[in-house]
Amino acid sequence: MILENLIQLECNIDDSTPEILSYTSGKLLDMGALDVWSTPVVMKKGRAAILLSVLARPEQAEQLSEILFRETSTSGIRQTACQRRALPRKVISVVTAYGKVDVKITCLNDEVVSISPEFESCRKAAEKINISLQTVYKAATEAAEKVQNGCPQDTHY
């Protein structure tokens, strides 16, 4: 298991559109945020709002905070140090009847505990030949079960 020191940035936003928040989330991820999520909250005076949360490495805090300030109406961001336990993982490419697909292999104590086809890779394969995403996921999982060769030692993201 890997123990990482990270930061969590958070801000409450009560005057934005879903499109703006989606754009901002995408931009944060493109700039290296490890994860971005939103949670509906109720602020003072009963105002509905969104809590926008960002998980990142400490050295990214300033750059990601700038994005939050520029792309949203927030005037304050809370920053909290946190730790994350992460399992070693690796991405392999498998060949399916629908094309090449990337699959994430996750391990615990040298045992494969998860085989997860990567969404974008599966989406592209499904759209290319007009079949269901579910069909590609199943084929990729089955192919990975046959070809995956053990657990990664230090690989993570």
Q: Is the pTM of this model over 0.75?
A: yes
- Tens digit of pLDDT for each residue in 122-142? 999 999 999 999 999 999 999
Domain assignment present for residue 104? The answer is yes
End-of-domain residue from the set 85, 109, 124: 85
64 or 156: which leads in pLDDT: 64
pLDDT category at 1 given cuts 50, 70, 90 is confident
For the chain, the domain total comes to 2
Name the residue among 30, 19, 13 with its Cα closest to residue 69: 13
Query: CA-CA distance, 77 to 58, in Å (whole number)?
Result: 14
Rg (alpha carbons) of the chain, rounded to whole number: 19
Least confidently predicted of 29-33, 77-81, 113-117: 113-117
Tell whether 76 and 93 lie within a shared domain.
no
Which pLDDT value is given to residue 150? 67
Do residues 98 and 31 share a domain? no
b/e per residue 115-130 (b: at least 16 CB within 10 A): bbbbeebbebbbeeee
Distance (Å, whole) CA 91 – CA 118: 9
- Show the domain range for 20: 2-85
Are residues 140 and 122 in contact, defined by beta-carbon separation less than 8 angstroms? Answer: yes
117 by DSSP, 3-state: which?
strand
Q: What is the mean pLDDT of residues 138-148?
A: 88
Considering the domain architecture, whether residues 58 and 12 belong to the same structural domain is answered as yes
Is 153 part of a structural domain of the chain? no
Q: What percent of the chain has pLDDT over 70?
A: 94
**pLDDT score of 139:** 96
In a domain, 9, yes or no: yes
- pLDDT range class, residue 2, cuts 50, 70, 90: confident
pLDDT at 157 over 50: no
- Out of 43, 61, 85, pick the residue that ends a domain: 85
Residue 11 has pLDDT above 50, yes or no: yes
Q: 103 and 143 share a domain? A: yes
d(CA 78, CA 149) in angstroms, rounded, equals 42
Sign of torsion over alpha carbons 61, 67, 68, 70? positive
Nearest to 1 by CA among 97, 85, 60: 85
Residue 47 lies in a domain: yes
Q: Which residues contact 109 (CB under 8 A, 6 or more apart)?
A: none
For residues 79 and 105, membership in a common domain is answered with no
